[in-house]
Structure 1
Amino acid sequence: MQALIFDCDGVLVDTERDGHRVAFNEAFQKHGLDVEWDVEQYAELLKVGGGKERMKHYFDQNGYPEEVNDQEAFIKTLHADKTEIFMDLIKSGKLPVRPGIKRIIDEALGEAIQVMICSTSNVKAVTAIAETLVGIERKKRMKGIFAGDMAKKKKPDPEIYNLAKTTLELDPKQCLVIEDSRNGLLAAKAAGMHCLVTLSTYTIHEDLKEADRIVPDMENDGEPLTLEDLKNLII
């Protein structure tokens, strides 16, 4: 194994339901919008990769406020406010890291395997999760964070994984990606990488047949996955 690559939302922390969704709704409220995404509606919206893209899809379908003249600027402003709200939630420490994540990162770093994060979420938010929840010392030892607008195309497009592959000169056949969604799984596979899926709140019923393995989390209901287990997926 040359590299162990983590998605962020739903993998490091199960943030979608009680993090991003809440932050979107607070941003809508701040701007006086009569919009609130409930749990089921947000599950559908998650089929669109990227926060700005998700909001654009919603407002394209449901209409923009009458006073909005510049739709792109409107989305950017909303997303900036949403990101700040989300970061405050992360810094509060109320969202726990998913089981086994810190342990498996430490095992990989201990064997000099390159560890990184590849996400289509905002890079500031991903960095905040890595530093505040996963741990700043672990984050310092990672090879990098590839996120947000570093990639023009969002998952399931493989651009964010291809960026990491090219930047760090990785052999994709020696890389294992940890994902939680079909979009992420397809992105990893399109980049030629192996993929383990850890199920999260919104992805438990998705079609994940292309995954090399599917588990509830890294602790796997009392049978914790080891680094050797992960290495065996790329042999």
Structure 2
Amino acid sequence: MIKTVIFDMDGVIVDTEPVHHYAYHQHFKHLNIDVTQEMYTTFTGNSTKNVYQRLKETFDILDEVENLVQQKRALFNDAFDDKEDLDLLPGVRELIIDLHSNGIQLILASSASKVTIERVFNRFKLHQYFTHIVSGEDFPKSKPHPAIFEHAASLSVAPKEECIVIEDSTNGIKAAKAAGIYCVGYISEHSKLQELNEADVVIGHFNELDSNRVKSLK
């Protein structure tokens, strides 16, 4: 029986991708680099640090990675605070409350920075539902490397065979499967270019899940 659900954040709990897209592309203009949509799509599920490491390998950028990360983060934070229509994805709050009230442990494992996670959790009052928050900035390698999910599973009240991951990105699903954890793929509005075929099951709306179905997955 499933006892722990490990949630990704961006594209699963809240759709901050439009805000990230705006911040990244404003920064790309400032850096005078041409990042194609094809290349940008491959960044989904990566930490900001890893994105800029890749960009430095591809383009002639003199700034250090940490400076680039801080510049982009400032653009994101300004846009995040100004975006009044930012909301949780449809049905996810109801699912979180249902799982929590039925004794299922919730853990967050997101590639986002701790600062961004805190902004989202404070804005939408989510702290009360999650026992642990794991940020990708604590790991040298981003998804599809399994480290973040391996660590999240180690925080579970149950063995990883009784955990599931909910992910919307190709890299995230690969990371969950590499960690040996059952994965639910979520078709997110801004993740339609992502390949979800490696997920164990795919959903298009969170009303397809409830605590009873989650407990019986596998």
TM-score (norm 2): 0.87
Greater RCO, 1 or 2 (C-alpha within 8 Å, sep 6+):
2
Can you list the C-alpha shifts for 1:160-201, whole angstroms capped at 9, x where unaligned?
111122234541111111100121111112222111111124
**Would the alpha carbon gap of residues 202 and 42 (structure 1) be closer, same or farther in structure 2, given more than 3 Å must change?**
farther
**Would the alpha carbon gap of residues 8 and 33 (structure 1) be closer, same or farther in structure 2, given more than 3 Å must change?**
same
Counterparts of 1:121 and 1:173, CA distance in 2: 25
Q: What is the aligned partner in structure 1 of residue 13 from structure 2?
A: 12
- Residue correspondence of structure 1 range 122-137 to structure 2 within 5 A: 122-132=113-123, 135-136=124-125
Q: What is the aligned partner in structure 2 of residue 229 from structure 1?
A: 213
Query: Residue 89 of structure 1 aligns to a residue in which SS?
Result: helix
> Which of 52, 55, 72 is the equivalent residue of 1:55?
52
Q: What is the aligned partner in structure 2 of residue 104 from structure 1?
A: 95
Q: What is the aligned partner in structure 2 of residue 174 from structure 1?
A: 162
Query: Residue 117 of structure 1 aligns to a residue in which SS?
Result: strand
Which runs of no fewer than 5 residues in structure 2 stay unpaired? Answer: none
TM-score (norm 1): 0.81
Q: What is the aligned partner in structure 2 of residue 42 from structure 1?
A: 40
- Residue correspondence of structure 1 range 1-235 to structure 2 within 5 A: 1-16=2-17, 18-28=18-28, 32-35=30-33, 37=35, 39-46=37-44, 49-64=46-61, 68=62, 71=63, 74-92=64-82, 93-132=84-123, 135-136=124-125, 138-168=126-156, 170-219=158-207, 224-234=208-218
Post-superposition offset of 1:205:
4.2
Cα RMSD of the aligned pairs, angstroms, is 2.2
Counterparts of 1:110 and 1:148, CA distance in 2: 27
Counterparts of 1:116 and 1:125, CA distance in 2: 16
Moved more, 78-87 or 112-121: 78-87
Counterparts of 1:36 and 1:97, CA distance in 2: 31
Post-superposition offset of 1:37:
4.5
Counterparts of 2:158 and 2:178, CA distance in 1: 15
Sequence identity (%) = 27
Query: Residue 22 of structure 2 aligns to a residue in which SS?
Result: helix
Contact 1:28 1:78 in 2 (8 A): no
Contact 1:2 1:174 in 2 (8 A): yes
Which runs of no fewer than 5 residues in structure 1 stay unpaired? Answer: none
Can you list the C-alpha shifts for 1:102-145, whole angstroms capped at 9, x where unaligned?
0010011101211111012212112211221xx22x31331111
Contact 1:212 1:233 in 2 (8 A): no
Counterparts of 1:177 and 1:119, CA distance in 2: 11
Query: How many residues in Structure 1 have an aligned counterpart in Structure 2?
Result: 216
Match for 1:91: what amino acid? D
Match for 2:100: what amino acid? L
Query: Residue 196 of structure 1 aligns to a residue in which SS?
Result: strand
Counterparts of 1:89 and 1:39, CA distance in 2: 21
Counterparts of 2:140 and 2:39, CA distance in 1: 25
Post-superposition offset of 1:7:
0.4
Match for 1:55: what amino acid? Y
**Would the alpha carbon gap of residues 53 and 229 (structure 1) be closer, same or farther in structure 2, given more than 3 Å must change?**
same
